[in-house]
Amino acid sequence: MNIQTYLGKITRKEKNHFWIFVSVLAVLSVFLCYRYSVEGCITPGHDAIFQYNRFYTIYESIINNNFPNYIDFSNPNQYGYATNLFYPDLIFSIFAFTGRFIGVFYAYQLMLFSMTFLCGIFTFISAKKLTDSKIAGYITAILYTFCFYRIVSMFERSSIAEALTFTFVPLLVWGLYEIIKGDYKKWYIFTIACSLFALTHMLSTVLAASIVILILIIYIKSFIKEPKRIVYLAVSGISTVLLSAYFLFPLLEQLQNDTFNINILENEDFIRLSLQDIVSGMFLLSTMSINTYKFLPSIGATLTFAVFLRFFIKTNSEKIKNIDAIVIISAILLFICSDILPNELYPNYFFAKIQFLWRYFEFISFGLALGGGYYISLMIQREKKTIALFITYLFMIVMMISINSTKFIQYTNLQIYTPFGRNKPVGTQDNNYCLGLGDKLEYLPVPVTLSSIEKRGNVLKKRKEKTIITNIQRKRETTIFDIKLSEKDNIELPLTYYKGYTATINNANIEVTKSKNGFVEIPVNQSGKVTVEFTGTFLQKYSIYITLVSSILLSIYVIIQNRKTYK
């Protein structure tokens, strides 16, 4: 029995298709993570040290029983940086918890593998629903999960939180379809997708929201024809806010209370790719060269060739027209990401915060993968062609992963990327305390900068010369010291000011304010023992319960709704 006959026997049985798909997905997921692994180290990349530091900080808060923890108290220079007040941490937290049992390093690796595998599963479920074809679902899942830009985001950029949201894009599109054209009583799919976005990466949520608004405008006739869809869209939006409460409410509270460097990003430039780079990137399996390093986010050949098959399909059914519309919208977005249009068409207030327009490739890639998967499924008419196309695309994906990962590791060996070990990265001035790039870190309150922290030093500052401060003790979120006064004084502490700090002197509460320099300041009117601690605001402490209760209620609703459907 030759290999073609053997494969033919397997593929003829439809019940085998799903398990073949799951097996291929699992093997490719392992292969991808393995190829980009560096022995004994976290896979390096642009943002790797920042992301792993976040993950490790969350892990520490779990083992120290002070989760949720909004502030990394060890950086910069023990001043504290509220990464998790501005950077949602749901997925990181889930996998950081497993670190208690398997170690934080392996928990991080498990997260990369699991979210890759789930990306394929969710894409299959969503694409099958959108195309009414299991075969299209299988193909779309492989195309999207292992598309070029997702691999670049996860490993070369190491923008892990952003890369994790790829897993939820298929659910977002499926949920939006149900609200616009499908069964609007399944509004909860859209809610779940939006909530997962909001609890994983805020910037990706903003990108997703802009695309959702565009699609809602395009399909506004559906809401005019059936006004009930507007009601379910509103219900979905309100439910998303409640499900995202444990991150969203503390974030809004903090932004309302103060001004941060992230608020002034609209004065910065944003980056678009040249049309030449976008077009050339559509036909590549690799953008890396060992001789000259060039970072080029791309759509990649696997998606482009799949979409080009549309020119060989003659049918014009209603279904293919809907898929064509998604591909066309994706192509228009790809064009908008180029530099061919004038800057005046791009509001700086919005796009400067996005920073890189090619971040839209996450959504464009799904639209093209969905179209490509459906077109390939229509092209498959004979068993031989099925096997040939399947093997061809698997070969392209394996080659793309192999070529890029090989050159990626070569860059690591040449120290273009610097690997670091399994333990928590040590924050220093040289690596910006593992908190990102630039002096004006995004989540520092104005006017604080890294240079101002370094210049100030790790000291408590007083205004009155005769004030004596002794017995200073600092442990994570708590600072304790003794003070002796000859007259009232104001003490500025080496702590970055965020709303949530409390202070006492001799167990009596005193006010905590922001100094003119952006640090924690307290008024002291008596001698004694002072304790300053980040205890959190009411919203920081209790918003998580809104999320938990909302999740339970939504789960009950989904169960009841599904029981009604299948009766």
| Cα separation of the two ends of the chain | 46
Residue type, 181: K
What's the order of all strands across the beta sheet hosting 468-475?
468-475, 478-484, 528-534, 501-505, 508-510
Average pLDDT over residues 80-100: 92
Average pLDDT over residues 476-485: 91
Which phi and psi (to 5°) does residue 494 adopt?
A: -80, 60
Distance of alpha carbon 147 from alpha carbon 279, whole angstroms: 16
Q: Which helix (H) or strand (E) holds 562?
A: helix 538-566
Angle at 555 between CA 554 and CA 558, to 5 degrees: 85
Is the model's pLDDT at 350 over the cut of 50? yes
Tokens linked to 123: 């894409």
Distance of alpha carbon 240 from alpha carbon 189, whole angstroms: 11
List of residues 6+ apart from 234 with CB closer than 8 A: none
Residue 290: per-residue pLDDT: 47
Average pLDDT over residues 160-172: 96
Query: 397 or 566: whose pLDDT is higher?
Result: 397
- Confidence category of residue 390, pLDDT binned at 50, 70, 90: confident
Residue 14: per-residue pLDDT: 66
For residue 225, give the nearest of 186, 194, 172, 184 by alpha carbon.
Answer: 184
Residue 293: per-residue pLDDT: 57
Residue type, 56: Y
Residue type, 166: F
Per the CB < 8 A criterion, the answer to whether 70 and 499 are in contact is no
Q: What is the residue whose two structure tokens read 């997703």?
A: 208
Range from 116-125, 419-428, 455-464 that averages highest in pLDDT:
116-125
Angle at 488 between CA 486 and CA 491, to 5 degrees: 105
Q: What proportions of the chain, in percent to the nearest 5, are helix, strand and coil?
A: 60, 10, 30
Classify the phi-psi angles of 81: left when phi > 0, otherwise alpha if psi is within -120 to 50, otherwise beta.
Answer: beta
Distance of alpha carbon 195 from alpha carbon 547, whole angstroms: 10
Q: Which helix (H) or strand (E) holds 25?
A: helix 14-35
pLDDT tens for 307-347 read 999 998 888 888 899 999 999 999 999 999 998 888 888 88
Q: Strand 489-496 to strand 461-462: parallel, antiparallel, or no bridges (unpaired)?
A: antiparallel
Distance of alpha carbon 213 from alpha carbon 14, whole angstroms: 39
Residue 121: per-residue pLDDT: 97
Per the CB < 8 A criterion, the answer to whether 218 and 329 are in contact is yes
Which phi and psi (to 5°) does residue 461 adopt?
A: -110, 135
- Confidence category of residue 385, pLDDT binned at 50, 70, 90: low
Is the model's pLDDT at 7 over the cut of 50? no
**What single DSSP character describes residue 226?**
-
132, 194, 216, 230 from 222: Cα distances, Å: 21, 21, 9, 9
Per the CB < 8 A criterion, the answer to whether 359 and 159 are in contact is no
Query: 431 or 460: whose pLDDT is higher?
Result: 460
Distance of alpha carbon 393 from alpha carbon 54, whole angstroms: 36
> Could you write out the DSSP letters of every residue in 100-124?
HHH-HHHHHHHHHHHHHHHHHHHHH
Q: Three-state SS for 493?
A: strand
Average pLDDT over residues 361-374: 96
- Confidence category of residue 243, pLDDT binned at 50, 70, 90: very high
CA 135 from centroid of its chain's CA atoms: 29
Average pLDDT over residues 460-480: 91
Q: Three-state SS for 40?
A: coil
Residue 539: per-residue pLDDT: 94
pLDDT tens for 121-148 read 999 999 999 999 999 999 999 999 999 9
pLDDT tens for 21-34 read 999 999 999 999 99
Residue type, 499: K
List of residues 6+ apart from 155 with CB closer than 8 A: 36, 43, 45, 405, 408
For residue 247, give the nearest of 68, 379, 80 by alpha carbon.
Answer: 68
pLDDT tens for 517-539 read 999 999 999 999 999 999 999 99
Q: Three-state SS for 472?
A: strand
pLDDT tens for 246-287 read 999 999 999 999 999 887 766 667 888 889 989 988 988 776
- Confidence category of residue 11, pLDDT binned at 50, 70, 90: low
Cβ neighbours, 10 Å, residue 206: 15
pLDDT tens for 167-219 read 999 999 999 999 999 999 999 999 999 999 999 999 999 999 999 999 999 99
Exposed, middle or buried by CB within 10 Å (0-12, 13-18, 19+), for 7? middle
Per the CB < 8 A criterion, the answer to whether 360 and 209 are in contact is no
For residue 296, give the nearest of 157, 442, 101 by alpha carbon.
Answer: 157
Per the CB < 8 A criterion, the answer to whether 147 and 300 are in contact is yes
Average pLDDT over residues 86-91: 91
Q: 48-63 vs 90-102: helix axis angle to the nearest 10?
A: 70
Exposed, middle or buried by CB within 10 Å (0-12, 13-18, 19+), for 197? buried
Is the model's pLDDT at 418 over the cut of 80? no
